[in-house]
Every structure is written in C-alpha cells, then in structure tokens.
Amino acid sequence: MTQGKASPDTEPAASRSMAWGPRLGWDRGVLARLVTRLPRPVKWVLIALLVVLLYALPLLEIPIISTPDTDFGAVLFTVASYVLVALGLNVVLGYAGLLDLGYVGFYAVGAYTVAVLGSYQAQLSWWLLIPLAVVITTISGVLLGAPTLRVRGDYLAIVTLGFGEIIRLTALNTPWLGEAKGITGVPRPPSVELFELPHLEWEGATAFVDLDDTTTFLSFGVADQAPYYWLALTVIFLVLGADRMLRLSRIGRAWEATREDEDAAELMGVPTFKFKLLAFASGAFIGGLSGALFASRQGFINPESFQLLLSILFVAAVVVGGAGNRWGVILGAIVVAYLPERFRGFEEWRLLVFGVALILLANFRPQGLIPPRRARRAQKADEELEALEEGADRV
Amino acid sequence: MTFLINNFVELTVTGLVLGAVYGLVALGYTLVYGVLQLINFAHSEVWMFGSFAAVWVTVALGVGPGAGVLTAIGVLLLALVAAMAVSGGVALLLERVAYRRLIRLDAPKLVALISAIGASFALAEIMGLRDRIAEWVGLRETLDPYVRSARDNTRFINPLETQGVFTIGPYTVSNVDIIIIVSAILMMVALDQFIRRTRTGRGIRAVAQDSEAAALMGVNRNRIIRATFFVGGVMAGAAALLYLMRFGVTRWNAGFLLGVKAFTAAVLGGIGNVRGALLGGFVLGLAENYGSALIGSEWRDVVAFLLLVVILLFRPTGLLGESLGRARA
C-alpha cells in the first residue's frame, strides 16, 4: 500500500528497514523518517507552511524557478492542470493498471461541455457548468469503458487511443461543436474583487515588494493568470483528499488486486470488470474537471488543443513520476509540463531534449522518479528470493 | 452513395495502394510485437527516415521526370536500397538505444513504451531540426539541397512518369498503382518465406513462441531481436519509397498519423501475424476510402478508428489471429 505521508507505524519494523534501504531510499527514506519523528503540531505547521508557499508561488517570482519568457502565473496554471490530469490518469493507469492512450478525450469532453453549453449553444452559469462538465465526462467514461474494458491490456491502449481521436475528430467536423474554428467566449469563473496582492521584485538575492505589480485577489481576467492557478491548486487539494480516501478503501485494494493479477482477483470474489469501470469513471471525472478548468482559463478552445500527443504526454507524466505513487505522479507532471515552459527560450530544441530525457528516464529509472513503496518492496523481496535460491544451490 | 458507386473502381484501387503502404509499415509493428510483446511506438520514425533517404537519393542524382525508363527504374531501385538501408539502420539504432537495456532488465512493458515514445520524439525532432544541426556542424552550405526548409513538406520528384496502363470502367489504372500493389504483395511473400524457411526466420518464430525455451535451445535471443527490428525497418523503408511514388511529399512529422494507422492495420489483421498485416492494411485502406466516400472525407480517420474498435470488440485477436510463433507462417 502506498501512502501519501509516510506512516511507517502500520508496518513491522523489519519490513520498513527493508523498504527504505540506503540504496533505494534517497527519495523518501531519510526525509520521511525525519518528518514522522517530529511532534504532531510541528508537522501541521510544516504542512501549513508548504501549502502557503504553494499558494504564494506566483507572487514570489523566485528568480531561478520563475519563467523569464512567459507569464509565471500562466505557467503555474499549466503545471497545475497537468498535475490534476496526471492524478486522474494515475487512478486509471497507476491504481487499476489500465493503459489509456486516449485520456485527452475526457479532457476534451470536459472542456467542450463548458464551451458549448456556456457560450456556443447556451449561456449557462459557470457554477452550473463545472458540475455539468464533470457529470457528462463521467458518463462518457462509463459509456466508453463498458465496451472497451473487456478488451485485453495492449489492445485497450490502442482502442482508447482510437476513441481519443474519434472525440477530437468529431469536434472538428460537427458544426454544432464549432468545427475547426473552435469556440470563443468560454465563460470565465465569476470574479470577486476583494483586495490587491503585491508581487515581489528580485535584485540578486534581495527581494522588494513591488507595489506597481499587483494581482487582484480573485479577479479571473485575461492578463493575470495567478487566480486560475489558485483555483486549480484548490481543486488539486480536494482531489488529493478524495484520492487518498479511495485508495485506502476497499475500492483501492480491489484496484490493486485487479492490477496485479486479474484472474486471481476474480477468483477471490473481486468483480474486476466493475472495478475497472469504476477506475475509468473516476479517471474521467478528474480529467473532465481539469478540462473544464482549462477551457474556462483559456476562454477559447478548438480541436487543436486536444491532440493525441497530449494523451501521450499525460501517460509520460504518470510513468516518469512513478505510476501508482501520487507524489511521484505529481513530480512527473511537473517535469513534463514545467521543463518545456521554463526552457521556452530554447524553443526549437526543447522537444528533442524532452525525447532524449524520456529515453534516459525510462532506461535508468524504470520504476519512475518516486516509485510506489509496494514496487520497491516487491523488488527487494525478489532479490532476497533470488539470493536464497542461489544459496540453496550452493549447499 | 452515388459517389461511391460511380467511383467504385478508383476508390478500390487507391484504397489498395494506401493499404499496401499501411501493410508494409504494419509489418514492423507486428514483428516486434510478436517477438517482444511491445508496441514499437517509434516505428513510424523509422519509416520517416526511410522516406527522406529516398528523397535525398533522387536529389543527389538530380534525375527529373524527363529521364528514360531505364534510368528511372535504376534511380528508383537505388532510392529503394537507400531507404531500406537507412530505415533498417535507424531500426537497429532504436533497438540499441531505446530497448536493449530495458529488454535485458525485463522492465515493465509500459516503461519500454515510454522509452519508445521518447525515441519517437527525438528522431522526429532531429529530422525537423536538420538545418540547425547542419549549421552547427558548419555544413549548412554543402548540404543546402537536403536541409533547406527542414520544417516544411519535402517533395519527392518521381523519375518514373505516371502512365495509364489499362482502364476499368471510368478509372485508368496507372503503372505506379500496379508497381505499388504488386511490390507490396511480393515483399510480403518474400518475408513470409523468410520467416518460414530460413534459420533466422526459425529463430524469430522460436523466440516469439517461448523466448526462454528458445534461449535454452541455443537460439541467440539478442541477435534474433536485432534481426526482427532490422527486417521491420527494411520493410518500412520499402513502404517509404512506395508511399512517395504515390503521394509525393514527406515531412519530419509525417510518421505519426501513418504510424497510428499502420498499427491499426496490424491489430486489424491480428498483431504478430505477418500475413494479417497486409490483409489488415488492405482492409483498412479500402474501408477508409469507401467510408470517406459515403460520409465525407473529413470523417476518414474516424472510419479507420471505428473499424478498429468494432473489430476488436467482436474479434479481439484480429482477422487472422495473433500467431507469429504458433502458425506455420
């Protein structure tokens, strides 16, 4: 079982030291043990500080991190929406083990629901559109999953890829959905303009408060994108909470069993098809939510925004980070979304570098940047078994 | 509907031409899948490199459409050899860089897929940035005819003039159509015989059936894997030239959609099945043409994917079943 914050007290001490051996433990072991040893109030303060830091990120404009070539708030929103998508895909791919190469389809359904019903065919209120988008996407997930999930693993990949393309091409060719010219005037989230927040200005290592450069708290406009980032971040926290509850519940265990051995799970009385469908629907839910946020930030969508390539980037984010571990997946999404934006100055070369980076990561860190604890334990157990077998040979 | 009936012959012939190209590219997917159970995502880039090799040969030789028939055939054969060699080489490089380590580690399939996706990006970008790379090495001037307009369509001047050969109803079948369909079938037969009769072919079948048992029986698994990639690459190279003869342009990112279609063809015919690849290609090419004639050409790709979904739902192992190892073929 992977758990968000390390809580080793649920495991016997022996297995803990095994899983966090010095060889594999660089990413979590030391840090996790340090954090768990802290008294509870200190932990809460640390978490609160981290959350505040995350929210303040667009205002701080920290020199090396922030992007020189594009609006940092916009980049942060892009990263946040990738994180959201990756969390959704992680449910499908990481927890239930279903390779979905058409995940962008759900993203598109969510975005198109908001755009079509908010601007093109009807003018519903934003507060109604978001739940509507999520519901429609979830239904589409079930409709799509019901026939395709009976197909075996590798074929599922190509069937979902096909469906992702069908969704995009349908939007491209249907007059009711705006065809290639897309849909403009997608409703933005309603603004409540409360107060101004100043940004920081950096000169070398010293920071000044720049009163000329301010962000109006919760004004969802075109120029300043920081409020969209705050919205997306809030949604991420909500999704993380739900994700944790799902994963630790009976459903999460059923997913894990299905992923590891479908036949065995079925024999133990897990209705695997039902749970796979549930994973698909949950993934679609999150994907649709993310797409809806994307559309209302963008204000304009067309089928070009939902290329097949995006699905592949999403899968790359999940696998690079470590499918099944949500912190890993978040890191993967940040890598995939942030690095190309940060190095936009090298526009021409960035995809080449990205491709090479993917090859290197896959070859030298095949479990992902932060692998699920289960995977590390399994690897350790394998090695021990092998050692035992070799020992038996020698006797 | 009337459009379909009036142009039935033309749609059929062009569908078969398209299907022949799909089928030859599909072979690369099918062979690698049969042996390794991996989706070789970067195979489309192998094809793309072959297509550029063919273009560059005609540019280097400077032969235009005015040349005599014998010269034209000679140039085309040279282009074919170059395309096959380059595609085979790129496929071997791909195996070395993106796959070998992962195969040795017995890594999860998904990781190999990510590695292949990375390789696909990198290869496509290298071709798209070839003017920059040439500038960087200082050969921009010398290589100008090859690297000019790296991001635009690159035209292939077919040295063989297109001529009508015979007429069926309203459509005149051209020599190019015949060359493409016949050579695709010939190559498929040759490959079939190669897998069935040669030592390497037997090795490929053995590894596809049970790679561990094959290794115990003295089959050099790594050599067989390399051979599989190489053969798939060579077929993609041939497909590249045939494609260019008919469609005339290529592009640094042209591989992607063609690759997806070819993979669809492979799955349609039954992935891992060599004969199925060509059959799947033909079926897909015809279905695309008929479908787009019926409901409009903008739905062409939707028809292709719907066909795939429907076939997989009702016949999950494809038309001929998956059988690189099992069947005699």
Collect all residues with Cβ–Cβ distance below 8 Å to B86 and sequence separation of at least 6.
B49, B50, B52, B53, B237
Task: Round to whole Å and give the CA distance between B12 and B4.
Answer: 10
State whether residue B104 sits within 8 Å of chain A by CB: no
Looking at the complex, report in whole angstroms how far the Cα of residue A381 sits from the nearest Cα belonging to chain B: 16
- Minimal Cβ distance to B305: which of A155, A157, A162: A162
Q: Show the tokens assigned to A2.
A: 């992977």
Tell whether the model's pLDDT for residue A97 goes beyond 50: yes
Enumerate residues 117 to 156 of chain A having a beta carbon within 8 A of any beta carbon in chain B.
147-148, 150-152, 154-155
Q: Which amino acid is at B209?
A: Q
User: Measured in Å, how far apart are chain A's first and last C-alpha atoms?
Assistant: 36
Give the range of the structural domain holding residue B305, as residue numbers without chain letter. 14-149+172-314
Looking at the complex, report in whole angstroms how far the Cα of residue B271 sits from the nearest Cα belonging to chain A: 10
Residue A278 pLDDT grade (very low, low, confident, very high; cuts 50, 70, 90): very high
Confirm whether B7 is domain-assigned: no
Write out chain A residues lying below 8 Å of B264, CB-based.
158, 162
pLDDT at site A263: 86
- Minimal Cβ distance to A355: which of B39, B110, B122: B122
Q: Show the tokens assigned to B131.
A: 């003017």
pLDDT at site A394: 52
pLDDT at site A395: 47
ipTM of the complex: 0.87
For residue B161, the 8-state DSSP code is P
The pLDDT tens digits for B274-325 are 888 999 999 999 999 999 888 888 888 888 888 888 887 787 777 887 666 5
Confirm whether B160 is domain-assigned: no
pLDDT at site A69: 63
State whether residue A13 sits within 8 Å of chain B by CB: no
What whole-number percentage of chain A has pLDDT above 70? 80
Number of neighbours of residue A387 by Cβ within 10 angstroms: 10
DSSP A206-265: EEEEEEEEEEETT---SS--HHHHHHHHHHHHHHHHHHHHHHHSHHHHHHHHHHH-HHHH
Exposed / middle / buried, residue A9 (Cβ in 10 Å: 0-12, 13-18, 19+): exposed
Could you tell me the pTM of the whole model? 0.81
Write out chain A residues lying below 8 Å of B125, CB-based.
349, 351-352, 355
pLDDT at site A205: 66
Write out chain B residues lying below 8 Å of A150, CB-based.
313
Average pLDDT, chain B: 87
- Minimal Cβ distance to B118: which of A161, A162, A355: A355
The domains of chain A are located at 48-307
State whether residue B279 sits within 8 Å of chain A by CB: no
Q: Of A7, A33, A3, which is closest to residue A20 (Cα–Cα)?
A: A33
Beta bridge partners of A301: A183
Averaged pLDDT for residues B229-252: 93
B231/A154: higher pLDDT: B231
The pLDDT tens digits for A6-29 are 444 443 433 333 333 334 444 455
pLDDT at site A134: 93
pLDDT at site A13: 39
Write out chain B residues lying below 8 Å of A323, CB-based.
110
Task: Round to whole Å and give the CA distance between B132 and A334.
Answer: 29
Q: Of B270, B274, B268, B278, which is closest to residue B185 (Cα–Cα)?
A: B278
Confirm whether B155 is domain-assigned: no
pLDDT at site A22: 39
Number of cross-chain residue pairs from A and B with Cβ atoms under 8 Å apart: 128
Averaged pLDDT for residues A302-326: 84
For residue B150, the 8-state DSSP code is T
Q: Show the tokens assigned to B297.
A: 């050409």
Enumerate residues 306 to 335 of chain A having a beta carbon within 8 A of any beta carbon in chain B.
308-309, 312, 315-316, 319-320, 323
Rg (CA), chain A: 22
Averaged pLDDT for residues A385-389: 80
Residue B207's domain is classified under what CATH number? Answer: 1.10.3470
Nearest CA in chain B to A322: B111
Nearest CA in chain B to A350: B125
Collect all residues with Cβ–Cβ distance below 8 Å to A283 and sequence separation of at least 6.
A88, A89, A91, A92, A100, A103, A106, A141
For domain A48-307, which CATH number applies: 1.25.40, 1.20.1050, 3.40.50, 1.10.3470? Answer: 1.10.3470
Confirm whether B165 is domain-assigned: no
Confirm whether B259 is domain-assigned: yes
State whether residue A56 sits within 8 Å of chain B by CB: no
Inter-chain CB proximity A352 and B37 less than 8 Å: no
Q: Which amino acid is at A200?
A: L
Query: How many domains does one find in chain B?
Result: 1
- Minimal Cβ distance to B118: which of A151, A157, A362: A362
Confirm whether B157 is domain-assigned: no
Report strand pairing: A196-203 vs B154-155: unpaired
Average pLDDT, chain A: 79
Task: Round to whole Å and give the CA distance between A123 and A333.
Answer: 33
pLDDT at site A135: 94
Residue A262 pLDDT grade (very low, low, confident, very high; cuts 50, 70, 90): confident
Q: Please report where in the chains the tokens 């109006």 appear, as a residue.
A: A216
pLDDT at site B186: 94
Nearest CA in chain A to B318: A155
Element (H, E) at A389: helix A373-394
Residues in chain B, total: 329
Q: Show the tokens assigned to B149.
A: 């307009």
What whole-number percentage of chain B has pLDDT above 70? 96
Confirm whether B29 is domain-assigned: yes
State whether residue B96 sits within 8 Å of chain A by CB: no
Averaged pLDDT for residues A162-181: 86
